[in-house]
Amino acid sequence: MTVTKLDGPHVVLLATGGTISSRASETGGAAVASDTGEDVFASMGVPAAHPVRVVDVFRKGSYLLTVEDMIAICARIRLALADPQVLGVVVTHGTDTMEETAYLVDLTHDDLRPVVFTGAQQAADSPAPDGPGNLYRAIAVAGSPQSRGRGVLLEFAGTIFPVTGVRKSHTTRLDAFANPDFGTAGSVSESGEVMMQAARPGMAPLPLPDVAAGSPRVDLIASYPGADSTLLRASLEAGAAGIVLQGTGTGNANRALCREVADATAAGVVVVTSTRVEAGAVVPRYGDGGGDDLRVAGAIPSGLLRPSQSLVLLSLLLRLDTPTARIAETFARRGAPPD
């Protein structure tokens, strides 16, 4: 663990790996997370907008992360914020699952000081890496008084997003993230000038479970043309306590999947219906295997939450031994359109 000790107000940088820390490997040239947090911080090449203390959490591509890893990041954020001199926290993270980890942090964050996620699309040794600029701007956001009380944010390519509803929207473009349903929270210039929009009301945080408290299995199953219940049944046989069904359209499936969902919910498995569509709410509307039949079968609509964040919320609620009725209430509240 690398730590740069600082006295006085400062931002903590928690480095977890990702493209922002990646370089071509010696064997085959594929990029792997290799730079330390100090390396990532030094790559900016200019003084940060605020003093920074650097902590290495781990070095992984975010496609390798588990829910336990994400809970560990939450715990390290809480540890950093135990210091009253900390203005805010920046987490450098791979973009593949940034929307999941950031959402888990947001669900459990109980502090006025901000947590800002950022990363990169271009590796550290690419001809024009974007990580240094993203990191510089994220540090400016984390230390800004305007960010207090905003919960968890994601800064990428100068745009600041609220974490609920954020998603990676392009595989390679530098402005890789979007939030079509909840919009943006503000922007930050290349020189670190932070401009925040009016804050939306927040929600009470959920408890952060202990990693040792158990890890109920939650699987993501997709509906698609010709899909049957084979994969859903295999998930149940593997011991899934929860399932996120990635439906089509407004959250639809087919008759075979509906029958299996009904059997699953009758056996106590929690099923949440989301959608593969980019924007808009899950609305139980259609019969003959559609979303209304899924509702009758006991599935819970995810509202505006897409499969990635639905899986995070369901995993957290199951780890907290939340009753099914309360899970449904939580999805209805947290998946509702912004005021």
Cα-based distances in Å from 188 to 24, 37, 137, 309: 30, 22, 6, 25
Query: Cα(281)–Cα(273) distance, rounded to whole angstroms?
Result: 11
* CA distance linking residue 166 with residue 286, whole number of Å: 27
Helix (H, G, I), strand (E, B) or coil at 60: strand
Q: What string of DSSP letters covers 180-232?
A: TTT---EEE-TT--EEEPPPPP--PPPPPPPGGG----EEEEE--TT--SHHH
Tell me the three state secondary structure of residue 248.
strand
19 is catalytic: yes
CB 15 within 8 A of CB 36: yes
Is residue 38 exposed (0-12), middle (13-18) or buried (19+ Cβ within 10 Å)? middle
Q: 3-state DSSP: the chain helix, strand, coil percent, rounded to 5?
A: 30, 20, 45
Helix (H) or strand (E) run with residue 311 in it = helix 307-319
Q: Read off φ and ψ for residue 296, nearest 5 degrees.
A: -65, -35
Q: Tell me which of 19, 118, 273, 330 is the catalytic residue.
A: 19
Q: Note whether 248 and 282 are within 8 A (CB).
A: no
**Which residues are designated catalytic?**
19
